Structure 1
């Protein structure tokens, strides 16, 4: 029997970890007759541990319950990998590589109090889930297993759904509501809840405000029992949910009632939830931009946190100010006298982390700003909503290149998709948590950000345990499939999610046009490469080719060839691996994702080549043979896209995506893939 002993043995996180280990050993038919002694040592690093194998037992030494929990979880996985064999497990000393390892969750609380992702199917479906305690228990368990210790909840206007404000009691909303009317918001987040949506409201759960507040206290207590801190982030300035109140609140920072409301709303939130670890803010997206934005944030959010700390001097609270829509020096100036922990949030790879393993954006920023302020990095993953990702080497290199000495932590997540349950998959009607479906991606980023030195064998054995096949082989195929998008985005770059969605080759044409657009051959020719990503763009490469100049960078044709090789390798391996694979099982669904990515890679490879040839012809019309090559390639591309779109639609439902303000169906773009041929022929 698996037994634990020691002064921390009864702590909730330790009990959770021990229970998971017993469950894993039982499921793996491994040896469960093992004792583990827990030794408390204040000299150990925070949340780290030492693992020692002794005669007939193990000893875990840690300074806190988080370290004990992670030590037990890691030991448990190693025992499973070795089918219960303790002799193969080596001693370990672990210090967390990154202190705070978080998830960014745009939370759809209610149609009346939306988040930034709420104009989407994923958010609509997730509203009932976020008011289900079992959902959060499973979510937090998964986070702890994957070694995340921060849950950040992001909302445009969370207060009416989460707290009763003594000074503004009539803003508190009863019940949880959805609307049958689809929001048609602006990019700023404005019009996310409108008068017509009010007419379509219906309840999904009956709850009083007292019940809501008790619910979120329970969620935060569950998080604490998994050594997870909860943070609340807002975009500004929105007062959704207060429309029916008598207080004349408006999204105007110059309205003194609004300013007073925001201050007291934050105070009430902090007082109601003593386990809330911090507040994050944006001086945008719907503020005046007249030089008073950051002052407003300081006088409302900042003052509320400051006054809370005065009333509770022993409480630890972080205040995190995002860089979006804000000037860094102004932020520092306004918060210079802030008495608590003050930090800055920065988009490390803009909206597309699956690109360069060493993005330049922060290094460029820090060269211009001499500061000792700590930073949080937003790791925006708006590249993968459907397909399972798994590239161990990419994750390790990306994390190793981070300026860890400047960091407090990171939060990983999307703006265009809600990381609740998966409602896209046609085959899996159990609607697993998104982070469970994407378990390997989440596990890689969580495990490696906790322990960057984890050996490759640890991960390949985990794949063997999960899928019952050669882990090294599967890891290699998965890596190649995952490299297709990250490699392509080095030469085809857009900063923001609405500008480019790689799984569907489309974007939103920004207002005033505001329409969904397929990225046609003209867009491929005009698109820039990733700044300092080591690649030359299509148009610059074409110019060099025509002028006979040498190119000291990776070329689009080299990128196209690399992607083609990845795609061909993946298709070949998937064809072999799926033999005898049961339809709908976990391995089958993974292999189908890989196949889809390979089809997409084949399309991107040939279309990139076509863009190069057509751009060369544009630069020198005498090279008509290049135009002919482009047309031929685009005819192939039309077939590639139809293969991709029909295959994807077998496995995934088309979705309404908030940042594209549209319903996105891959087969809808079949005609546009064909029209690329005419675009090229008629230039």
Structure 2
């Protein structure tokens, strides 16, 4: 029986081009747009490393090449005697298999879809860039760990929260050249879904047929918007990236509210229902390359007493608008149903059952609420039961939807971060039958304009996501393949910064990257502003306590002492001091504040030692390497600060419980050391970073309108005075 395949060849040999370049002949079905694009991009990349690709159509193949990439589905009689149907067994969507024949001299890369073919082709390219010798490329079977590897990207227009930190990105986020680079980064890191979020997207995407005054734009302006969206979705599709538009509810544009006599938020009128349903249908019909649409049961569905909506009523509103609009469209699309505070699993399951979608729905659940970069243990979610885990989302196992963990990052926006060991542990801990993906991204940070870093010779990047390259690389690659070895990341560092720098820099990344994870695990937080680990800030409390100091967003020593932990294995300072005073022993799995301090200090000092050797190898031509080292140094001194502040908190609480003056003296001494560590943080940041707009601190007035470590120094000094002024607990 005839077989049908798409074939790409790379005919490898040491053929001189006359300029000393290695020539590799690449043949493929040029009718396949996605693989043609990937091959063209790879050709450009390899060219600068002395490797030239010769691209040609499959019809020109005269003999078996050295490297052949085969996607099951296209016709090639030439390989009927070599490739069998059984060769494609165990290859999953977006996966590929390496098969060697003729003693290993000929390599076949097999896949069952276009993305798998592209990833296989890029894998070959990475090997050539790193090892040069194609004979070292080994047989393997690679399947992605998760079907959906999703970037959450908040749009700066109609934003969920308006602020200077959002508005600064408006121009760049409409620049196609920015999106070209961002999408290329996603492909490189095997991130396969771009989800775009804002309050109310429709006025920026369609001219409503029955509600023409919904949009503030004239015909020319609207055409410009449509060209932008169609170009973006087309660019994503050609790269194998799915696109989703996700919005909050219930919201209409200010122009719609004024023109049609409704409220901008929380309006249940038939007018708003009709407009929303028709907008969903029109959006799908006008944008052929859009993969899907998403909805979040959010703050404007009766959460704050403005109107009463039960979870069932919220789902019914979604059914009458979004689901009905999808059903009326000319083609089926995928559906994201976000599970947040306003949601209930039973009502959600009933909605998805009635929707009878072609593809399983995507149900996003926030992992540890807005601070997923914490413990890999699932401690809280953001659902109808106010953070308590509700297993009804996944028990019984759903048949028409799967869950994607949202690992939100509201904890570091300025400093670079990449901790692959944490990501691997997170994946290992949370890979379940009912989970098929992850979201990564922020609410308070848009990775477009890098507005924090001052211009200097070390600033060799243009966009914020390029500076945070290790964040996207570790998350993306490990979500695709959790067994990606450390050697891969080390190779990537050495390609950027030169031989000999990869291993120490990578190890320093891992060690210093533990600091924000430990703080977020120790200091339990819920919504966005309840923690900003990078700045040691709690702008709003997770729970109302007398220890929350509204005079500043900084986490004081008293707040650190009395706050509950997120990780169930960690013990708070207040609880630990009480247990020690009563002679109680910690269980073997428990982590005391002093043990956490020991870990934080050890990692920080090791990290500083590693980058110390790298600083000695830098010069005025080292570019971004210097900035990378400075960020790691900053994390390391924050880690030392955290360690001594934990110790100071224990000593201070012991004094309050026992009256032992030596404990008070020790607390003051440790907090003075904390000031030294903070001054080192300032030293490594004040000359490089502008005071940066940060939405979580703006409610504290002009003093905290912008974030910097330097502006918080008086709060660090204040901790010393808090310790000096402390008295014995009155109940002792």
User: Do Structure 1 and Structure 2 share a fold, with TM-score over 0.5?
Assistant: yes
Task: Identify the match of residue 492 of structure 1 among 501, 509, 523.
Answer: 523
Task: For residues 441-496 of structure 1, give each alpha carbon's deviation from its aligned partner in whole angstroms, at most 9, with x where no partner exists.
Answer: 21111111111222332222222222213322222121111112213333222223
How far apart are residue 68 of structure 1 and its match?
0.7
How far apart are residue 227 of structure 1 and its match?
0.7
Aligned mates of 1:279, 1:682 — CA distance in 2: 56
- What does residue range 556-575 of structure 1 map to in structure 2 within 5 Å? 556-575=593-612
Task: Identify the match of residue 89 of structure 1 among 130, 137, 156.
Answer: 137
Paired residue secondary structure (1:230): strand
1:218 to 1:37, Cα distance in 2 relative to 1, 3 A: same
Task: For residues 579-614 of structure 1, give each alpha carbon's deviation from its aligned partner in whole angstroms, at most 9, with x where no partner exists.
Answer: 131346121111111111111111111111101111
Aligned mates of 1:120, 1:100 — CA distance in 2: 32
Task: Identify the match of residue 159 of structure 2 among 105, 115, 131.
Answer: 115
Q: Is the CA contact (8 Å cut-off) linking 1:509 and 1:516 kept in structure 2? A: no
Matched, 1:537 2:567: no
Aligned mates of 2:32, 2:316 — CA distance in 1: 38
Q: 2:449 is matched with which residue?
A: 421
Paired residue secondary structure (1:286): coil
How far apart are residue 292 of structure 1 and its match?
4.6
Structure 1 gaps of 5+ residues are: 176-205
Q: 1:332 is matched with which residue?
A: 349
Q: 1:180 is matched with which residue?
A: none
Q: 1:214 is matched with which residue?
A: 227
Q: Is the CA contact (8 Å cut-off) linking 1:252 and 1:258 kept in structure 2? A: no
Matched, 1:69 2:100: no
Q: Compute the RMSD of aligned alpha carbons.
A: 2.6
Aligned mates of 1:47, 1:368 — CA distance in 2: 27
Task: Identify the match of residue 150 of structure 2 among 102, 119, 133.
Answer: 102
1:614 to 1:271, Cα distance in 2 relative to 1, 3 A: same
Q: Is the CA contact (8 Å cut-off) linking 1:60 and 1:68 kept in structure 2? A: yes
Aligned mates of 1:309, 1:408 — CA distance in 2: 25
Q: 1:527 is matched with which residue?
A: 563
- What does residue range 503-514 of structure 1 map to in structure 2 within 5 Å? 503-509=534-540
Q: Is the CA contact (8 Å cut-off) linking 2:345 and 2:392 kept in structure 1? A: no
Select between 322-331 and 293-302 the one with higher mean Cα deviation.
293-302
- What does residue range 646-657 of structure 1 map to in structure 2 within 5 Å? 646-657=683-694
1:607 to 1:46, Cα distance in 2 relative to 1, 3 A: same
How far apart are residue 172 of structure 1 and its match?
1.9
1:404 to 1:25, Cα distance in 2 relative to 1, 3 A: farther
Q: Is the CA contact (8 Å cut-off) linking 2:311 and 2:344 kept in structure 1? A: no
How far apart are residue 307 of structure 1 and its match?
4.4
Q: Is the CA contact (8 Å cut-off) linking 2:459 and 2:623 kept in structure 1? A: no
Q: 2:77 is matched with which residue?
A: none
1:29 to 1:432, Cα distance in 2 relative to 1, 3 A: same
Matched, 1:164 2:164: no
Structure 2 gaps of 5+ residues are: 1-22, 55-64, 74-87, 382-387, 699-704, 727-732
Paired residue secondary structure (1:375): strand
Larger radius of gyration: 2
How far apart are residue 515 of structure 1 and its match?
6.9
Aligned mates of 1:395, 1:139 — CA distance in 2: 22
Select between 652-661 and 604-613 the one with higher mean Cα deviation.
652-661
1:162 to 1:399, Cα distance in 2 relative to 1, 3 A: same
Task: Identify the match of residue 478 of structure 2 among 440, 445, 448.
Answer: 448
1:592 to 1:535, Cα distance in 2 relative to 1, 3 A: same
1:404 to 1:327, Cα distance in 2 relative to 1, 3 A: same
Aligned mates of 2:696, 2:279 — CA distance in 1: 28
1:564 to 1:30, Cα distance in 2 relative to 1, 3 A: farther
How far apart are residue 31 of structure 1 and its match?
7.6
1:484 to 1:366, Cα distance in 2 relative to 1, 3 A: same
- What does residue range 164-183 of structure 1 map to in structure 2 within 5 Å? 164-174=207-217
Task: Identify the match of residue 629 of structure 1 among 629, 650, 666.
Answer: 666
Matched, 1:264 2:278: yes
Select between 462-471 and 124-133 the one with higher mean Cα deviation.
462-471
Task: Identify the match of residue 490 of structure 2 among 441, 453, 460.
Answer: 460
Aligned mates of 2:635, 2:234 — CA distance in 1: 40
Paired residue secondary structure (2:68): strand
How far apart are residue 207 of structure 1 and its match?
5.5
Aligned mates of 1:501, 1:311 — CA distance in 2: 42
Matched, 1:658 2:702: no
1:436 to 1:115, Cα distance in 2 relative to 1, 3 A: same
Aligned mates of 1:315, 1:333 — CA distance in 2: 20
Larger RCO (CA within 8 A; separation ≥ 6):
1
Output the TM-score relative to the length of structure 2: 0.83
Q: 2:291 is matched with which residue?
A: 277
Select between 662-671 and 597-606 the one with higher mean Cα deviation.
662-671
Select between 656-665 and 423-432 the one with higher mean Cα deviation.
423-432
How far apart are residue 417 of structure 1 and its match?
0.8
How far apart are residue 501 of structure 1 and its match?
0.6
Paired residue secondary structure (1:2): strand
Aligned mates of 1:243, 1:515 — CA distance in 2: 40
Q: 2:27 is matched with which residue?
A: 5
Task: For residues 41-70 of structure 1, give each alpha carbon's deviation from its aligned partner in whole angstroms, at most 9, with x where no partner exists.
Answer: 264421111123456553221111111111
How far apart are residue 331 of structure 1 and its match?
2.3
1:514 to 1:521, Cα distance in 2 relative to 1, 3 A: closer
1:514 to 1:297, Cα distance in 2 relative to 1, 3 A: farther
Q: 1:592 is matched with which residue?
A: 630
Paired residue secondary structure (1:208): helix
Task: Identify the match of residue 656 of structure 2 among 618, 627, 631.
Answer: 618
Aligned mates of 2:182, 2:162 — CA distance in 1: 20
Select between 95-104 and 258-267 the one with higher mean Cα deviation.
258-267
Aligned mates of 1:368, 1:80 — CA distance in 2: 45
1:382 to 1:366, Cα distance in 2 relative to 1, 3 A: same
Aligned mates of 1:405, 1:415 — CA distance in 2: 28
Output the TM-score relative to the length of structure 1: 0.88
Q: Is the CA contact (8 Å cut-off) linking 2:143 and 2:481 kept in structure 1? A: yes
Aligned mates of 2:336, 2:421 — CA distance in 1: 33
Q: Is the CA contact (8 Å cut-off) linking 1:634 and 1:676 kept in structure 2? A: yes
Paired residue secondary structure (1:108): coil
Paired residue secondary structure (1:116): coil
